[in-house]
Structure 1
């Protein structure tokens, strides 16, 4: 069917169950190789959304993600990685999934079909026009996301989206849509594959770029990262050794004293 959304179109591969393991892996890999090129075509759209988020966040605003299923899980994942990576408070980037945290592991019946639930979820965080709301939906048709974006717009909140079909209802609602068309999935309709990969790449780009612009990275290093385990403490020590040209013992002492690489760099006197 010509009118069938790209994410629902039949796979370019037939008789998958007859393929050898290597054939399966090679064909999946070949499909995955096309994803970064599809993302590249959307860079101007990503740029517009990043700049809008940065403008709001530098003035005290927050970034919210809403989604269902794989899309919702990817938003929650990206949000949850910002505090340890960039040393920001938990409420700077907030990911919400239809059905709540339980839905991170198991599907919650009818949650994604509820058009008012997203806005209800957002009320727990007092979302306002200081913030930005991004809807994530591979199909671009998720009622949970559409309803949340529509109500947010009515309340003067800037909205964006990440979808994998053109001319979708979600993209039509969003102020700053990102449409990454990756083509039919290897397993027909399985948007956890290429579509999910594309969404993850874009989410990485959005928060990483915004955090760099907000000064949460120095040179190319995570100087604000939370020192939550031995690996990260060791990484912090190495950063200080490299940046300050000091030995390991002094670097470890500074990190222990100032509790972050950034604080140690700011306070160390030669």
Structure 2
């Protein structure tokens, strides 16, 4: 009751705020806020109060050392660049292996959006930023309303430009984020976590599942796809509880544990495939041309003119006049030409 009342009051001044009951001693929160008030003040928990790193996380593929990059500091720039390029082949291989699951994800998302549902990306750190990035590109590219595809990142807006990595450690915070977005049975929630075990994401997916939404896990850790994860302590939702698990196993990173590298690349491509495939399914593409793009800049207006010229077989100036006559609405111009 207290949490609900506090959230209602706080929302008036801080609409993006996340409110949840504290799961740790309140003194830690007070010390953290004090440290935040001083830019150069560091706050360190007593080692005895820091949660131990789960053995399952330590053993995930994305945390392993890459034998091909064990001497990075000894490489010259040319060798380092070549290594990065060579490692990208593992991204393509992983995506090819996941092709059938990516196709199924397109079907699930398209079906949901056609039925009035929405698509949510849930992630923390690099995974969350990639989800927000893909979601933010949908309205201008496909003329979709901003609520149709939404990105949710642990730590909120601040985490987009400054690391708030500790925000990912609470399952309850992820669950609260889902509730605050009003997730319903018609929606699809895609949890993005390279390790497959991020508490914020798992908590969000568990709550979304309980609300009747379709849930998809996008991970770079093959072990999550097995039954062995189910029922273990700290597991908010068993592997068998997901509607779909997409595994893009890119292998260990060049810099051990830095999943903004290959894992990040594979994640972005996977989301590109899913969201673009769904928009194609909704009829927002003709051939390979965007017919619902928002003409909000000089570049996009020029693109719209060229699309009209191409699809209606007319010259550039005639296509421009047609768009101007239809208030730069590309779809309407195509339907009335």
TM class by shorter chain equals over 0.9
Name the SS for the 2:217 alignment partner.
strand
1:41-52 aligned at under 5 Å gives the runs 41-52=97-108
Shift of 1:94: 0.4
Map of 2:167 onto structure 1: 111
Distance 1:123 1:257, change over 3 A: farther
1:94-145 CA-to-partner distances (Å, cap 9, x unmatched) read 0000010110011225210011112222233211001000000001110000
Aligned pair 1:234/2:290, yes or no?
Answer: no
The count of aligned residue pairs is 268
Partner of 1:77: 133
Equivalent of 1:56, from 92, 99, 112?
A: 112
Q: TM-score, normalised by structure 2?
A: 0.77
Distance 1:95 1:166, change over 3 A: same
- Separation in 1, partners of 2:317, 2:97: 48
CA RMSD of aligned residues (A): 1.7
TM-score, L = length of structure 1: 0.95
In structure 2, the partner of 1:260 is 329
Aligned to 2:256: 188
Counterpart of 1:152 in structure 2 is: 208
The structure with the larger Rg is 2
- 1:91 corresponds in structure 2 to 147
- Conserved 8 A contact 2:178-2:208: no
Are 2:21 and 1:21 aligned? no
CA shift, 1:252, in A, is 0.9
* Equivalent residue number for residue 66 of structure 2: 11
Task: Please say which of residues 197-206 and 253-262 is displaced more in the overlay.
Answer: 253-262
Which stretches in structure 2 are left out of the alignment for 5+ residues? 1-54, 230-236
Asked if the contact 1:171–1:178 (Cα under 8 Å) also holds between the matched residues in 2, the reply is no
Q: How far 1:4 sits from its partner (Å)?
A: 2.0
Cα distance between partner residues in 2 of 1:248 and 1:58: 34
Query: Partner of 2:278 in structure 1?
Result: 210
CA contact (8 A) 2:62 2:259 kept: yes
Question: How big is each residue's C-alpha offset from its partner over 1:223-254, in whole Å with a ceiling of 9 and x where there is no partner?
Answer: 10010111111111111111112122221111
